[in-house]
Structure 1
Amino acid sequence: MNAHNWIDLKQDADTGIETLRAHFQGHAYDPHWHDSYLVGVTEQGVQQFNCRRAKHQSTPGKVFLLEPGDIHDGEAPTDDGFTYRMLYIDPQWLTRELGAVFDKAPDNSELSFANTLTTDLPLAHATALAFETLHRGELKIVRQTALDALLEGLTRHLHWRTRYDQDPRLPLVAQKAREYLHANAQYDIGLDQLAAATGVDRFRLTRAFKAAYGMAPHAYLVQLRLATARRMLSQGEQPTTVAMTLGFADQSHLGRWFVRAYGLTPALYRKRCSNLPDR
């Protein structure tokens, strides 16, 4: 990691929301995704990232909104780098809390952000305030008031999207491969094995998968394992246990991939989120 880069991460015990403030120069992190909804604001500099097949540049005051599974990367195109604040919001918590705002969620649906990047000053202010109250561990009534303001601001950008069992926008072979990876993520899966499970040769499989998800099957498998690792570590699991459970060669192998995706080590992430000592 660049010597000028830094990360400050905490987790709110009541809501499970992670709060992260970070600064990066140059390359920040490789393409990856999260199981959470991401709501963040850029404080300083230009935050450049690719998401949903488009390149975005977030500048101070802009709000970036990512759904669970949105693949994104990050870099600083200018020498002074960028600083940002981010909230990682649990989908179940968000859906439950918004139940007070929406009368009834449509059947077979999930919350979706209309745009990845938006200029909404009230929402930017609400995001920054929610971050501060959670990150500093303010009184519960103060944190809840700030979160209510954030939720109110988010409703202008959220809509209910139909949840597809089979997404018609994606090639069937890519969907089959993705389902196979999710079902067998802990195993040492080869391309030939994955191709056999989808009924095509591995070259067609790789092309279809890249076209559908923006990365090769092996990269998707690594990111799938990392998303699970992040969840396990936040629950207090030891990095050695996580590496073994998810099929990484060893703890150092997990560590290298984790740093590339999230900018900090598994042990540090576990410590910041679980408040448990290392053994």
Structure 2
Amino acid sequence: MTSHWIDLRQDRETGIETIRAHFEGHAYDPHWHDSYLVGVTELGVQQFDCRRTRHFSTAGRVFLLEPGDIHNGHAPEPGGFTYRTLYLDPQWLVDQLRAQFHDAPEHPHLSFAATLCTDSRLALATAMAFQALHDDELRIVRQAALDHLLSSLTGHLAWRKRLDPDPRLPRVAQRARDYLHAQRQQNIGLDDLAQACGVDRFRLTRAFKAAFGLAPHAYLIQLRLAEARCLLAAGDSPAAVAATLGFADQSHLGRWFRRAYRMTPADYRRRCTNPPDRQVATPQD
């Protein structure tokens, strides 16, 4: 029998979510977040696939995910794994770093140098920032802990100019992605998507999976789930979110939400208060 637990809170001032969780066996299905994830594995072995690579994070190692990084989770050893993670809003992170680096490019994209790293200074800074926010310490304590985290992160971050369109990806896949983002609340079919891109459904699906690691239908579900998190955190009811995003009903949203995040939409809504407005990110290949 497997077990898991999740302790999620949200900082009122920054909107940063802090999650401490434990999983045994299968943890969660492939999904992405619209935030930068900075986390530390506390115990056990945390297995996850990201950017076509299988990673194994053990106690003390730091994992770093960018907005849109598709990843899953699994505990390959008995006893499972425990981790703590901070979900950093992209605009918040850029604004904070701009205060330190005045030569940042216009419309930048922040990239992590590696998905998994061994850096005891960063691991400690992550744990301290997590604790300060999760325990709702004094404002000055929370800010000092976040400043220390940002200072520790700089060696693992790189600025790069955002490319649109991205020359690394097939144009048809990028057109399909843009169409899905624009029509994400509509009941669209593969034939609609293929017609908008000017190719047949089979070629489109092959190109899309090669570019983004998911078939178009799975991508659309994850896109809706990312927006569902924002709407739920803003206080919308699960039933209203399901109707807004084109799910058949609240239970349909709930099934997909639990598969990705291992909690119900109602539970997620209860744990989040007063979030900032956020944009739904475009997953990176």
TM-score, length-scaled by structure 1: 0.96
| Alignment deviations for residues 224-275 of structure 1 (CA, whole Å, 9 cap, x no partner) | 0000000111111111111000000000000110011111110000000028
| Alignment deviations for residues 40-83 of structure 1 (CA, whole Å, 9 cap, x no partner) | 00001010111111110111111001111111111111111100
Q: CA deviation at 1:98?
A: 1.1
Instruction: Tell me what 1:227 maps to.
Output: 226
Aligned residue for 1:179, secondary structure, equals helix
CA distance in 2, matches of 1:262, 1:126: 25
| Alignment deviations for residues 104-163 of structure 1 (CA, whole Å, 9 cap, x no partner) | 311232211111111000000000010011001111111111111000001010110220
CA distance in 2, matches of 1:213, 1:28: 22
Give structure 1 stretches of 5+ with no counterpart. Answer: none
Instruction: Tell me what 1:132 maps to.
Output: 131
Instruction: Tell me what 1:41 maps to.
Output: 40
Question: Do residues 112 (structure 1) and 115 (structure 2) align?
Answer: no
Alignment of 1:12-161 (within 5 A): 12-161=11-160
Give structure 2 stretches of 5+ with no counterpart. Answer: 276-285
CA distance in 2, matches of 1:6, 1:256: 18
Q: Which amino acid aligns with 1:182?
A: H
Aligned residue for 2:34, secondary structure, equals coil
CA distance in 1, matches of 2:256, 2:216: 16
The number of equivalent residue pairs is 275
CA distance in 1, matches of 2:91, 2:141: 22
CA distance in 2, matches of 1:3, 1:79: 10
Q: CA deviation at 1:103?
A: 1.6
Aligned residue for 1:155, secondary structure, equals helix
Deviates more, 1:71-80 or 1:99-108: 99-108
CA contact (8 A) 2:15 2:274 kept: no
Q: CA deviation at 1:86?
A: 0.5
CA distance in 2, matches of 1:142, 1:104: 28
Q: CA deviation at 1:189?
A: 1.0
Runs of 4+ in 1 over 6 A off after TM superposition: none
Aligned residue for 2:63, secondary structure, equals strand
Question: Do residues 258 (structure 1) and 257 (structure 2) align?
Answer: yes
The root-mean-square deviation of aligned C-alpha atoms, in Å, is 1.2
Aligned residue for 2:235, secondary structure, equals coil
CA contact (8 A) 2:24 2:79 kept: yes
Q: CA deviation at 1:5?
A: 0.4
Q: Which amino acid aligns with 1:181?
A: L
Instruction: Tell me what 2:212 maps to.
Output: 213
CA distance in 2, matches of 1:4, 1:108: 43
CA distance in 2, matches of 1:36, 1:180: 22
Q: Share of identical aligned residues, percent?
A: 69
CA separation of 1:275 and 1:99: change in aligned 2, threshold 3 A: closer
Deviates more, 1:223-232 or 1:89-98: 89-98
Aligned residue for 1:137, secondary structure, equals coil
| Alignment deviations for residues 186-216 of structure 1 (CA, whole Å, 9 cap, x no partner) | 0111111111111111111111000000010
TM-score, length-scaled by structure 2: 0.94
CA contact (8 A) 2:27 2:75 kept: yes
More RCO (CA 8 Å, sep 6+): 2
Deviates more, 1:103-112 or 1:254-263: 103-112
Q: CA deviation at 1:3?
A: 5.2
CA distance in 2, matches of 1:100, 1:203: 47
CA contact (8 A) 2:14 2:92 kept: yes
CA distance in 2, matches of 1:226, 1:79: 30
CA distance in 2, matches of 1:117, 1:101: 25
Question: Do residues 167 (structure 1) and 166 (structure 2) align?
Answer: yes
CA distance in 1, matches of 2:31, 2:163: 22
Q: Which amino acid aligns with 2:39?
A: G
Instruction: Tell me what 1:202 maps to.
Output: 201
Alignment of 1:238-277 (within 5 A): 238-274=237-273
